[in-house]
């Protein structure tokens, strides 16, 4: 089985991530919060973290760029900052993110139990491939196995963050948020693509086009994309 080339993997990541903008949208606010909190206290950190999200959204508007990531990041930052100020604990800034990770892991588990794996849904939303192809008995196992990997990732990250929050280790929490955010997700997507395409080849199911045209066996299989 030929491994995906570096160019192929980069092209696939570009299609999913839509450029580097989500990185700044996701990473700037927690970095601002922790830095300002260490210098000027909880309220100042919360206010400037939200302000950083507003600035990002404003810059997107000025450049006439898509603002969906910035708006989503701003909403998440506002919720996290409000929670931190309300509780009086800097560590509480990271609680909404922990809850989000737990919910993602739970949804992944439910999707596996329902035999409609979550990673198949995410692929479907991005690629617009027919739903029936994902549920084919010689396609679905690949998406189920990758969904188990996603479940382990989100559950493990949430558990680590929860433990650090209980210890009051704000610096480590910020480090996990930064490294375990988009950088780790990019690695997860690369692993997903490499393993998923190889698994589809071993399963020997139809490609998307072969499924659409109801081509008879033997199938060539899905050569690119997952």
b/e burial code for range 163-178 (CB count within 10 A of at least 16 → b): ebbeeeebeebbebbb
Global confidence as pTM: 0.84
pLDDT score of 5:
67
Q: What is the mean pLDDT of the chain?
A: 85
b/e burial code for range 135-151 (CB count within 10 A of at least 16 → b): eeeebbbbbbebbebbb
Reading the block at residue 83, the tokens are: 């929670």
Rounded-to-integer distance, Cα 166 and Cα 163, Å: 5
Alpha helices in 41-167 (DSSP H): 42-62, 68-87, 95-113, 118-127, 131-134, 140-167
Reading the block at residue 23, the tokens are: 């990185």
Domain residue spans in the chain?
6-213
Region 172-180 average pLDDT: 85
Region 27-54 average pLDDT: 84
């Amino acid at each position: 089985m030929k491994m995906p080339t570096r160019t192929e993997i980069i092209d696939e990541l570009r299609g999913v991530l839509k450029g580097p903008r989500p990185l700044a949208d996701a990473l700037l606010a927690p970095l601002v919060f922790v830095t300002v909190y260490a210098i000027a206290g909880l309220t100042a950190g919360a206010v400037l973290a939200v302000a950083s999200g507003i600035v990002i959204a404003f810059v997107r508007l000025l450049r006439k760029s898509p603002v969906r990531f910035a708006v989503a990041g701003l909403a998440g930052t506002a919720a996290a900052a409000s929670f931190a100020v309300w509780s009086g604990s800097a560590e509480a800034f990271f609680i909404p993110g922990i809850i989000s990770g737990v919910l993602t892991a739970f949804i992944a588990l439910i999707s596996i139990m329902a035999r409609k794996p979550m990673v198949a849904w995410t692929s479907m939303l991005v690629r617009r491939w027919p739903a029936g192809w994902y549920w084919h008995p010689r396609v679905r196992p690949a998406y189920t196995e990758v969904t188990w990997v996603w479940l382990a990732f989100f559950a493990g990250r949430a558990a680590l963050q929860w433990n650090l929050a209980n210890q009051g280790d704000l610096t480590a929490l910020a480090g996990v948020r930064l490294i375990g955010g988009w950088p780790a997700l990019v690695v997860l997507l690369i692993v997903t693509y490499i393993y998923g395409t190889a698994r589809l080849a071993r399963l020997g199911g139809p490609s998307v086009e072969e499924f659409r045209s109801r081509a008879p066996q033997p199938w060539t299989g899905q050569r690119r994309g997952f």
